[in-house]
Structure 1
Amino acid sequence: MADSMKTEALPFPILLGDIGGTNARFSILADATAEATPFVSVKTADYATIDDAIQKVVLDGNDLKPRSAILAIAGPIDGDEIDLTNCDWIVRPKKMISELGFDDVLVVNDFEAQALAASELGPKHRETLGPEDQPHMASRVVLGPGTGLGVAGLLHARDMWFPVPGEGGHVDVGPRSERDFAIFPHLKRIEGRVSAEEILSGRGVVNIYQAICKADDIDASLKEPADVTAAGLDGSNPQAVETLSLFSTYLGRVAGDMALIFMARGGVYLAGGISQKILAALKKPEFRTAFEDKAPHNQLLATIPTFVVTHPQAALAGLASFARKPSAYGVSMDERRWQR
């Protein structure tokens, strides 16, 4: 394992991998000036190991043989055997080097890759919420409501971008409005605590919906997150409509908190699967109103732009940006890079 803290270039061609709990996506970057190959997506459940998936989907029958790999994974990076949080795959970089033929393997956090993407996402790959302001070349924040709630910062200093992964999705969230105080007693909690992830995720959509139904003494007929969001968007279920309104409000509050923590004058970017699906709800006033409602700093928040990321594979785009120009990023390789 390399012990250098320096951000160094990896040898091309480079395999880029975005490894989630359900899906894994791969692409190859031939050199620093090339476009990445179109990504291929596989279900993690369809392959016994990540090595099998890479061999069969990427290496077999491909003339472009990657010399190195940059893998973004949903899970903590600790040691030579890296477990993924929500699937059975184990990333073993030393084995990849010995058996798959790589010279170099770098493993990063999945939301670190999302933060890297936020450094370069242009108007083509983002949808503006609120004022149409061009983001400053300044620190940014990425929030991703999906299976869970990912949060990462992207600090800008010394003409470089420094991704800061963390566990911001587990901060406490409390009630503010009268309606909140009616609903919050019915929310499912973890050891007595309402964390952001418990309401700003797929299960969070259902959590809010069920709490609204209990507060109003109505049968909760919808069971799945997709059913609640669909009924909320088409207006067919009043409780589902309110669910999306409150989801947007709570997401705005947490996004505003993160913007204050990181002084994110460069903008707040909403990634994750849910943000794109409920874009119509997020474009309504609730999200931006809650985002800016941060007295005594309302005016500051009003100057910070907010976006929904619409890039089909933002994590892979972030890895490609880093691979092309690693000197532009302060990505620590200590304890995360293995070399032949």
Structure 2
Amino acid sequence: MHFKNENDTALRFPVLIGDIGGTNARFAILVDSNAEPKAFPVVQTADYATIDEAIQSAILDRTSIIPQSAVLAVAGPVEGDEIDLTNCDWVVRPRKMMETMGFSDIVVINDFEAQALAVVALDDDNLEMVCPGTSQPTGSRVVLGPGTGLGMAGLVHAQHTWFPVPGEGGHVDLGPRTERDLEIFPHLERIEGRVAAEQILCGRGMVNLYRAINAADGNKPVHETPAEISSAGLDGSDPVAVETLDLFVTYLGRLAGDMALIFMARGGVYLSGGIAQKIVPTLKNGHFRAAFEDKAPHSALVKDIPVYVITHPKAALVGLAAYARTPVRFGIETQGRRWKAA
């Protein structure tokens, strides 16, 4: 049996870290293991034909620092030497990057693995509690991120190591429980007959839910975008938008409670992304907490688990920086996801 050691996992500094989503890419450079990351302006993926062009123009051409290694988190499955992103046209080709940009070592992981790493690297100033509880220092944790889609990951601790557990939990079934749910669910847009969690708990899902509520009540929708619906729900100017947000956080609470039970997440549940940050007032109005704790016969167990909103605007970079500093602290599987110069 081969046990990892620091020499196996260590990265050569400076390290370029990057969080690449469908719309935005965020980069920073870690000069050494003690330095704070040097951040760069957020990159719009649509502004560059390739990720290589973006890194060269937006990062490397604007600094005298020459990164030796790179750790990239991407929204999509990491397979092979050509890694397609799910929601943009960029393709990550690590071997080509090493040739053209001089990296000697590149690690590519899933974006929600990076979010999971962040929850043990963020301090209390970057977390807002929406359900009280006590976080056990080495307790398992869950991250849910309603955004363009619904990302999800777990984080478990063993052998003095944190192991991120990425998955496709955003595509589990979500079903009706109340009489109001039964009125609304027939009007939700489905995928091959299914109402998966992501059909409700993301930006387009919020629009789907808003339209379904209007259809159930025989009304015409007034708003068209998640931003319009959330703004009207938060300021109370549209009763349907208010109900949409209340049900959105209710369904999110149900799912978060389920995931807390699956992972026995005594370290807490963490909500990431811009939607959660924007709707904190609704997350605190009691609907989320009631749904989260409504887990008989284990309601008392879930009641002790805290839930936080991650408020740091670049949380994934915090997680990537923590990994880059001390890879041995994290059980990241790098086989097939790490490229090193000969």
May I ask how many residue pairs the two structures share in their alignment? 338
**Greater CA drift, 55-64 or 220-229:** 55-64
State whether structure 2 residue 147 is matched by structure 1 residue 183.
Answer: no
Q: CA deviation at 1:327?
A: 1.2
Q: Map of 1:128-277 to 2, 5 A cutoff? A: 128-131=129-132, 133-277=134-278
Say what the alpha-carbon RMSD is for the aligned residues: 1.4
Q: State the 1:196 CA deviation.
A: 0.3
**Taking every aligned residue pair, what percent have the same amino acid on both sides?**
62
* CA–CA distance in structure 2, aligned partners of residues 114 and 178 of structure 1: 36
Contact 2:28 2:317 in 1 (8 A): yes
C-alpha deviation, 1:137, in angstroms: 2.3
User: Is the contact between residue 163 and residue 330 of structure 1 (CA under 8 Å) also seen in structure 2?
Assistant: yes
Instruction: Spell out the pairing of 1:23-172 with structure 2 (5 A cutoff).
Output: 23-131=24-132, 133-172=134-173
Letter in 1 for 2:253: G
Report the Cα distance in structure 2 between the residues aligned to 1:27 and 1:161, rounded to whole angstroms.
Answer: 23
Against the structure 1 CA distance between its residues 303 and 44, is the aligned structure 2 distance closer, same or farther, given a 3 Å change threshold? same
- Cα distance in 2, alignment partners of residues 329 and 241 from structure 1: 41
CA shift, 1:261, in A, is 0.6
Aligned equivalents of 1:5, 1:137: Cα separation in 2: 21
In the alignment, the residues of structure 1 paired with residue 130 and residue 136 of structure 2 have an alpha-carbon distance, to the nearest angstrom, of 12
Rounded to whole Å, the distance in 2 between the matches of 1:84 and 1:300 is: 38
Which residue in the other structure is 1:316 paired with? 317
Q: Is the 8 A contact 1:5 1:334 kept in 2?
A: no
Q: 2:49 & 2:209 partners in 1: Cα distance?
A: 36
Q: Which amino acid aligns with 2:244?
A: T
Cα distance between partner residues in 2 of 1:164 and 1:154:
6
Point out where structure 2 has 5 or more consecutive residues left out of the alignment: none
Q: Residue 302 of structure 1 corresponds to which residue in structure 2?
A: 303
Does structure 1 conserve the Cα–Cα contact (< 8 Å) formed by 2:4 and 2:328? no
Whole-Å Cα distance in 1 between the matches of residues 84 and 304 of structure 2? 40
Instruction: Give me the whole-angstrom Cα distance separating, in 2, the residues matched to 1:310 and 1:174.
Output: 29
Confirm or deny: 8 A CA contact 2:133 2:304 kept in the other structure.
no
Q: Is the 8 A contact 1:5 1:332 kept in 2?
A: no
Q: CA deviation at 1:133?
A: 3.3
Q: What secondary structure does 1:221 align onto?
A: coil
Provide the rounded CA distance (Å) in 1 between the counterparts of 2:201 and 2:136.
25
Deviation at 1:267, TM superposition (A): 0.2
Q: Distance in 1 between matches of 2:307 and 2:212?
A: 28
Q: CA deviation at 1:331?
A: 0.6
Residue in structure 2 matched with residue 290 of structure 1 by the alignment: 291
Q: Distance in 1 between matches of 2:4 and 2:166?
A: 17
Compute the displacement of 1:52 (Å). Answer: 0.6
Question: Which amino acid letter does the alignment assign opposite residue 78 of structure 1?
Answer: E
Alpha-carbon distance in structure 2 between the residues aligned to 1:243 and 1:83: 34
SS at match of 1:304: coil
Runs (4+) off by over 6 Å: 4-7
> C-alpha distance in 1, partners of 2:18/2:147?
19
Aligned-partner residue type, residue 331 of structure 1 = I
TM-score w.r.t. the length of structure 1 is: 0.97
Q: Deviation at 1:120?
A: 2.1
C-alpha separation between the residues in 2 aligned to 1:216 and 1:61? 55
Is contact 1:135–1:305 with CA below 8 Å preserved after alignment? no
Deviation at 1:158?
Answer: 1.4
User: 2:171·2:197 contact (CA, 8 Å) conserved in 1?
Assistant: yes
Q: Is the 8 A contact 1:136 1:267 kept in 2?
A: no
Whole-Å Cα distance in 1 between the matches of residues 252 and 296 of structure 2? 17
- Unaligned regions of 5+ residues in structure 1, if any? none
Task: Output one character per residue of 1:240-284: Cα deviation in whole Å (capped at 9) or x when no partner.
Answer: 000000001000000001111111000000002210011110011
What secondary structure does 1:147 align onto? coil
